[in-house]
Chain A
Amino acid sequence: MQVSGGIEWVMVVNLIIWTGLFLYLWRLDRKVRALESSQDTPSLETKP
């Protein structure tokens, strides 16, 4: 075991930050994909 003192907490905080960032990016990726698919099938309505 290399760790000592409060360094484990630094590791845990790092893991939480990375997981939160990952979930945010994943959600963003899904949103962008949904928008792309909605733009690929436009309603072709024109504003009068």
Chain B
Amino acid sequence: MKRTVASAPRLLLWLWLAAVIVGAFEYAPLAAKFIGQSSRILFFHVPMAWAAFTAFITAGVYSLLYLFGRRPPGSLRQARHDRAARAAIEVGLLFGVLATVTGAVWSRIMWGAYWNWDPRQTSIVMALIFYGAYLALRDSVEDAEKRARLAAAYAALGLVVTPFFFFVVPRITFSLHPEPVINARGRIEMNPRMLQVLLASGAGFTALFFWLHDLRTRVLTLAERALEAAAAGAYPADAANVASALGARASAAPHPNPSDPRGAGAADPVAPSPRTSNW
């Protein structure tokens, strides 16, 4: 019974997005000025771009919490914010790539080419490059606390950059893109049925992002805990297997743990790696 109640929101999400899919093909009419059935892809393309935007803003908020939270940077709670920011950007990149690919398919039908250097196409790719660089930055810094601080400052900068790329650039330049949902005159001039499906899809994809984000954050936490256990020489049940299964890398050193009597929580060079341990 308890498990059923806990699963209810997820089942509701499955049902919701299944209804969105049926609605996109059965309920919503075809849009005028669109070739063939191509307008149906927008019920997925626009919410994916929205989910990517939500993800990048979420990462910025967690990064601010890391930098200006009440606990000192490097504490366990702050480390959670760092992991949450990283997870949000990873999931955001996934949605961003999907939005770009679905947009390119639509562009091929409407404009005759997958890529047209349209301002909106270009700006979302710029945003993806910006956040791809975030992951490269994380991989280039060895020290865990320094890595978290630099990454948090970078992702916090994204709070300015992301709205600029997603909303400002496409509006200050000529674009082939159809008018946004709220057009330049500040009105919504979309068929009501199309609008209903689009908004339902937006809500569903936002919920899907938060589920994926929660999952990824928990996976990162497990991997980090397993590495800490391996570094401390203590192997709680399945810890080594957890790190291995989650693809934890030796370079992903855990955050410094102030309670670690050895200080700084650095990995013990003598301790065997979780991958090679035959314990």
Contacts and interface: CB of A to CB of B under 8 A. Distances in A.
Contact of B222 (A15, A26, A36): A36
Interface residues of A, number: 28
A47 B235 contact: yes
Contacts of B234: 42, 44-47
Given A18-B18, A25-B215, A35 B222 contact: yes
B237 interface: yes
B15 to A, nearest CB: 10
B265 to A, nearest CB: 17
A19 B13 CA distance: 11
A35 B260 CA distance: 23
Interface in B257-279: 272, 277, 279
Nearest to B204: A18
Given A32-B218, A38-B237, A42-B236, A15 B26 contact: no
Interface in B13-31: 13-14, 17-18, 21-22, 24-30
Interface of B: 7, 10, 13-14, 17-18, 21-22, 24-30, 37, 40, 211-212, 215, 218-219, 222, 225-226, 229, 233-239, 242, 272, 277, 279
Given A8-B25, A25-B10, A35-B238, 16 more contacts: A1-B26, A15-B18, A15-B22, A18-B18, A22-B13, A22-B14, A25-B212, A29-B215, A32-B218, A32-B219, A36-B222, A42-B234, A45-B234, A46-B233, A46-B235, A47-B235
Interface of A: 1-3, 7-8, 10-11, 14-15, 18-19, 22, 25-26, 28-29, 32, 35-36, 38-39, 41-47
